[in-house]
Structure 1
Amino acid sequence: MQSYLQYRSIKSCVDRHCTHISHSDASVDKPEKYILSCARRLEREPTDEPVNFKENDVYLVGWDGPDDPLNPKNFSFAKKIRTTLLVSLIAFVVTAASATDAPVLKQAAKDLHVSEVAESLATGSFLLGYAVGAVFAAPFSEALGRNLVYIVTLFLFGLFVMASALAPNFGAQVVLRFIAGFFGSTPLVCSGGSIADLWNQMEKTYAFPLYSITCFGGPIVGPVITSFIGVSHLTSWRWAEWMNVFMTILAWLIVFFFMPETFGPLLLKWKAAEIRKQTGQDHFKAEIEVSHRSLKARLKVAFTRPFLMALEPIIILMALYLTVLYIALFTFLNGYSFIFGDTYGLGQGLTNICFLGLEIGMLLAAFLVYPIWRITKRDLEKAHSEGRRSIDPEVRLWFGMLGGSISIPIGLFWMGWTDYASVSIWSPLVASVVLGYGIVCIFTSVYMYVIDSYEIYAASALTLVTFMRYTVAGGMTEVGIPFYKNMGTHWTLTIMACLTVLLAPLPYALYIWGKKIRSFSKYAVGDI
C-alpha cells in the first residue's frame, strides 16, 4: 500500500516537471551518447527552447536535488524509525519461529513417535532453510525491490508454517519447516540493505542496534511465548506453530499497509518509466536499467561471489565468531532443560521463562549507543579534516570492544560452574544476562563492520556469513541433547567458553590491524 502511494507521489512529481519539457526530432550524422542527470534537466527554468534528443541519447534519471523528499534517505526521522521497526518486526517474527518448537519438543516427539533427538531436527531443518534461502534473498531484493520481496516471502513463510502445524508425520514436519525457513531468510540478508537505504553513516550508529536487538530477541523470546503450551491440557504442541502463524499474519498486515519501498534504484526506475510514459521519449533511463543486470545475472553472481569471498580473512573470522555464538544460542534451546530444569527442578514452562535473562542482557546493550555515537562523530570529524569522506570501518568494532567479546566467555564460564543445586538459581540467570549483552554486541559489530568494509559487495559478504552460521548451527541442534546429556552442563559450557576465549581478542585485533588486512583484499574498501 505504501509503495503504491510512493508511486503516486512520483507520478505527481513527474507531472509537475514534464510541463517544462518540449519535444523535437533532430537528426545528426554522428549520434553520441550522453549520460546526464534528468533531475537537473527537469529543474531548469521554463523556456520555449525545445530539448533536442539524439538517436542514442540516454538521460540518466536522478533525484530532484539532495533534498528530494522521494529519496528514502530524506524520509522524516519518524518515518525512518517506523520503517526500521517494521524491518525489525519481520526479523523478529521469522527468528522467533526458529525457537518456538523447543518448549514442546517432548510432546511433539511423543505424538510423532520419534525420539527427542530426532524431533530436534525440526529446528535444525528450519535453520538450514535459512542458510539456503539467504543465497536467493539479496538478488531478488535488488531486482524487485525490498518491499515486494518482504511481502511475498513473509506470506509464503506463514503459509508453510501453517502447513507444518498441520503436518501429519515427522517427515512432513521437517520438510515443511525447511521450506518455511527458506522463505523466512529474507530479513536476515536484506535488512542490512534496508537500513543502508535509509540512514547515513552517523545515523546507522543508533539505527542498526535498534534492528539487531529486536532481531536477536526473536530466538530468545520465541521459547518464552510458547513456554507453557506443551504442559497445558487445553492445547496440543501444534499450537506452538499456530502462534507463529498468528504473529506472521499480524506482521504481514502491518508490513503490507505501512511498509514503504526503500530501494532507491527501484524508485528511480519507476520515475524513469513515468517520464517515458508522459514524454513519449525512450531516452530517459534509471541507472538500474542502464546497467542491464537481469535477475538471472544477479542470481549467477549470488551463487558464485559469496563463495569466491570465502578466502577473505575478515569474512571468515567474523563468520566463525557468529557461528560459535549461534552454536551456543541454539543448543541452549535444548540445553536449558539440563541447565535449569534438571539442576533446579523447574518445570517445562518455567525453564523456558529463564530465556528472559538473555533478553535483558541484550536490552542493556542499548546503553552503549550514545557513547559509541560520540566516538563515531569524533572519528568522522577527524576523517573530514584529513580530506576523507568517511570513517574507517573499524569504528564499528566498538560495540564488541566495550565489554562485548569479554562478556561471552565470562557468562559461559559463570553459568557452567555455578550450575549446582547448592548455588542460587540467580547465579546462572545473572550469567545469562552477561552472556546476552555480549552476544548482541558482537552481532552488531560484525554486521556493521562487514557492511562498511565491503560496501557494494556487502550483500555477498553477509550472504556467506549467514550461510555459514546457520548451516553449522542447524547441524549442531542435532547434537545438543547428546552433548549436554553425556558431557554434563559444566563441561559443555566450558568447551563453548574456551572457543569464545580464543575469539575474544578479534575485535581488538581488527581495530588495530583491520585497515592493513583490508588493503590486501580484492573486495574490501581501502581509504575512504
Structure 2
Amino acid sequence: MSPPRSSDVESTPLLHNERWHGQDGDDQGSDEEVITFDKDDEEDPKKWPKKIKYFQVLQITFIGLLCPLASSMLAPASTNVAAEFGVEKQAIVGAQSGFLHLLGVGPLFLAPMSETFGRRTIFLTNLVLFTIMQIPTALAGNLPVLITLRTITGLFASVGVANGGGSISDMFEAKERASVLGFYLLGPLLGPSLGPFFGGLIVAHMDWRYIFWILFVVSTLMCLSSYFFLYETYAPIVLDGRKKKLQSKHPDTQYRVEGASDQPIYKKILSNCNRALRILFTQPIVLIMSIYQAVIFATMFTLYSTFTNIWPSPPYDFNKTQLALTYLAPATGFILAAIFVVPSIDRIYGKLAKSNDGEGLPEHRLPIAFIGAVFLPVSLFWFAWTIENSSPWPVPLSATLLFGASQVCIFNSTQNYYIDSFEKFAASALAAGAFLRSMMGAQIPLYVSGLFEKLGYGWGMSVFGFVTVALMPAPVLFYWKGGKLREKFAVDLS
C-alpha cells in the first residue's frame, strides 16, 4: 500500500533514465529491464511529501511506544498477581523477563523479514497477533500460563523495535534523519517507563486483568489505523509492485528490481535472519556499543524493579498512585533530551561534514553520546546514595530524570550511527543491538534482589554505575577510530 499519487505522476518514467531496453548501459538488444526510481519519482518513499512522511513516523512511533510499554505494565501489579496465584512476588518478574527475551529475539527474524516481505506486511501481521494475545493473557488462570502467554506476546511486540528504524531510514536522507529518529526512539524508550505508570493507575482503581483488556482495546485501534494509513516504505518492495504491473503488461520482457535478490524466498529469509547476528559478532563497533546499550537497558529495568520496593516503604510510604507517578521522572528526562539535545545531532553532523570537505561520516553522529556517557554514571551514583541515605524523595527522583536524558543521548547517537553505517540493512543492524539489550534487560533483573539484600541500594546500584564508567570511553574511542575499524572489519552482507 502506497500513498495516493498526484494526477501528473503517470508521466513519471517507470524505468531509470526513461529506457525500456538495454538498461545495463548497452544497446545490444538486452531484453531485461532494471526497475528503479527516477530522480523525482513520487513513489520513492524518500520523495514523499513531508506531511505523509511525518504521519508515517507518528504511526511508527506509536507502535514503538505501545509494544515496549506492554513489557512493563504488569510490574506495579506484581503484589496483586502474586496474591491471586499464591506465589512469591519475585516470581512475577518471570512474566516481564519472558516478554523481554522474545522482544530481543524477535528483531533477529522480523527486521530481516521486513527486507524480504516489506515493512507494512510485517507490521500488520505482528500487530494483529499482538492484539489477539491480550485476550488469553487477561484470562490466564495461573502463573505458568501467564508467563507463557506474556513470552509469546513479546515476540509479536518486537515488531515495534524491529521495523521502526529501518522504516525511517527508508524515508529520510542522512542529513535530516537524526531528529526524526530521535522522535521515534522516544517510543521504545518511553514505553518501559510509561508502562508502570499506566499499569499503576489501572491497578489503583481496577483489577489487574484490566491491564490487558485496555491493551486489547488500544492495540485494536492501532491495528485499524495501521491497516488504512501505514504505507510500504521499503524501496525494493515498492519497486517489486511496479515490476508485477509491468510484467503483466509486457509478458515478453523480463524485469528486474534494482538491488533485489533472485534467490528463492526461503533462502532469502535464512540469509536475512542470519545477517543481524553477522553484524553483531563481526563488527567490533556494533558489538561494543550494543553491549553498552544492553547495560543501560538492564540498568533501566533494574531501576524500575526497585521502585516497587523503595517507594511504598519507609521513609516514603507512597500509595499506588504516587508509585505510578514516580515513573514519570525518567520519562520527563527522555522528553527533555529529545526536545533540546537530540536536534543537535543533525547540526553537529552538518558542521563536521562541512569541515570534512562536505562528506558526512557515521562517526559524526557520536558527539552527543559523549554527554550521555558522562552523566549516566553520575545519575546512578546520585540515585544509589540518596536512596541509601533516605534523602527527601525529590532528590533521588531528580537523578532518574538525568538518567533518562543520558540514555536518550547515547541511544539516539548510536542508532543513527548504525543506520548511517548499514543504510540498506539498517533494520538488521538495529536488530542486532535490540537482541543484546533485551537479553540483558530480561536476565539481570531476575538476580538483582539478592544483590540489593547483600549490598543495599547504595553499593548495589553503584555496581551498575561502575560498569557504565568502564564503558564511558566507548563513544569517544569510536569517534576517532571507527572509520578505520569499519574498513578493517568490512563484511559483505548481501
TM-score normalised by structure 2 residue count: 0.92
Q: Which amino acid aligns with 2:170?
A: D
Partner of 1:213: 186
Give the Cα–Cα distance (whole angstroms) in 1 for the partners of residues 492 and 479 of structure 2.
15
Give the Cα–Cα distance (whole angstroms) in 2 for the partners of residues 188 and 422 of structure 1.
37
Q: Which amino acid aligns with 1:364?
A: L
Deviation, structure 1 residue 353: 1.1
Q: Deviations over 1:318-349 (max 9, x none)?
A: 11111111111112232112332324111233
Q: Deviations over 1:9-51 (max 9, x none)?
A: 4999569869xxxxxxxxxxxxxxxxxx4551269xxxxxxxx
Residues 217 and 359 in structure 1, CA contact (< 8 A), matched pair in contact too: yes
Q: Work out which of the two has the higher radius of gyration on C-alpha atoms and give 1 or 2.
A: 1
Of the candidates 84, 92, 105, which is equivalent to residue 132 of structure 1? 105
Give the Cα–Cα distance (whole angstroms) in 2 for the partners of residues 122 and 373 of structure 1.
39
- Report the 3-state secondary structure (helix = DSSP H, G, I; strand = E; otherwise coil) of the residue aligned with 1:285: strand
Check if 1:513 corresponds to 2:481. Answer: yes
Check if 1:483 corresponds to 2:445. Answer: no
Q: Which amino acid aligns with 2:486?
A: R
Alignment of 1:94-493 (within 5 A): 94-232=67-205, 235-287=206-258, 291-309=261-279, 310-342=281-313, 343-365=315-337, 366-385=339-358, 390-401=359-370, 403-419=371-387, 422-493=390-461
Give the Cα–Cα distance (whole angstroms) in 2 for the partners of residues 524 and 383 of structure 1.
27
Give the Cα–Cα distance (whole angstroms) in 1 for the partners of residues 199 and 264 of structure 2.
43
Residues 454 and 461 in structure 1, CA contact (< 8 A), matched pair in contact too: yes
Q: Deviations over 1:449-498 (max 9, x none)?
A: 12222334444333222211111211123224333344322122111111
- Report the 3-state secondary structure (helix = DSSP H, G, I; strand = E; otherwise coil) of the residue aligned with 2:207: coil
- Report the 3-state secondary structure (helix = DSSP H, G, I; strand = E; otherwise coil) of the residue aligned with 1:230: helix
Residues 143 and 294 in structure 1, CA contact (< 8 A), matched pair in contact too: no
Q: Deviations over 1:133-169 (max 9, x none)?
A: 1221023211211111111101101111222111122
Give the Cα–Cα distance (whole angstroms) in 2 for the partners of residues 457 and 360 of structure 1.
32
Deviation, structure 1 residue 246: 2.1
More displaced 10-residue stretch of structure 1: 306-315 or 212-221: 306-315
Deviation, structure 1 residue 190: 1.7
Deviation, structure 1 residue 423: 2.1
Residues 113 and 272 in structure 2, CA contact (< 8 A), matched pair in contact too: no
Residues 130 and 185 in structure 1, CA contact (< 8 A), matched pair in contact too: yes
Deviation, structure 1 residue 180: 0.6
Q: Which runs of 5+ in 2 are unaligned?
A: 22-26
More displaced 10-residue stretch of structure 1: 467-476 or 436-445: 467-476
Cα gap change, 1:11/1:297 in structure 2, threshold over 3 Å: closer, same or farther? farther
Q: Which amino acid aligns with 2:274?
A: T
Q: Which amino acid aligns with 1:287?
A: E
Q: Deviations over 1:425-454 (max 9, x none)?
A: 110111111110001111111211122223
Cα gap change, 1:478/1:10 in structure 2, threshold over 3 Å: closer, same or farther? farther
Give the Cα–Cα distance (whole angstroms) in 1 for the partners of residues 444 and 348 of structure 2.
38
Cα gap change, 1:68/1:216 in structure 2, threshold over 3 Å: closer, same or farther? same
Q: Deviations over 1:280-300 (max 9, x none)?
A: 4332332365x2133312222
Q: Which runs of 5+ in 1 are unaligned?
A: 19-36, 44-51
Q: Which amino acid aligns with 1:351?
A: L
Residues 103 and 158 in structure 2, CA contact (< 8 A), matched pair in contact too: yes
Partner of 2:24: none
Cα gap change, 1:161/1:333 in structure 2, threshold over 3 Å: closer, same or farther? farther
Give the Cα–Cα distance (whole angstroms) in 2 for the partners of residues 246 and 481 of structure 1.
34
Identity within the alignment, %: 27
Give the Cα–Cα distance (whole angstroms) in 1 for the partners of residues 33 and 7 of structure 2.
18
Q: Which amino acid aligns with 1:301?
A: S
Q: What is the number of equivalent residue pairs in this alignment?
A: 485
RMSD: 2.5
Deviation, structure 1 residue 312: 2.4
Deviation, structure 1 residue 207: 0.9
Give the Cα–Cα distance (whole angstroms) in 2 for the partners of residues 256 and 323 of structure 1.
33
Give the Cα–Cα distance (whole angstroms) in 2 for the partners of residues 38 and 248 of structure 1.
41
Q: Deviations over 1:241-285 (max 9, x none)?
A: 222222211222221221111111111111111122223433233
Residues 338 and 489 in structure 1, CA contact (< 8 A), matched pair in contact too: no
Give the Cα–Cα distance (whole angstroms) in 2 for the partners of residues 92 and 10 of structure 1.
32
Check if 1:87 corresponds to 2:56. Answer: no
Partner of 1:60: 34
Q: Deviations over 1:195-226 (max 9, x none)?
A: 11010011112111011123211111111112
Q: Which amino acid aligns with 2:287?
A: I
Partner of 1:31: none
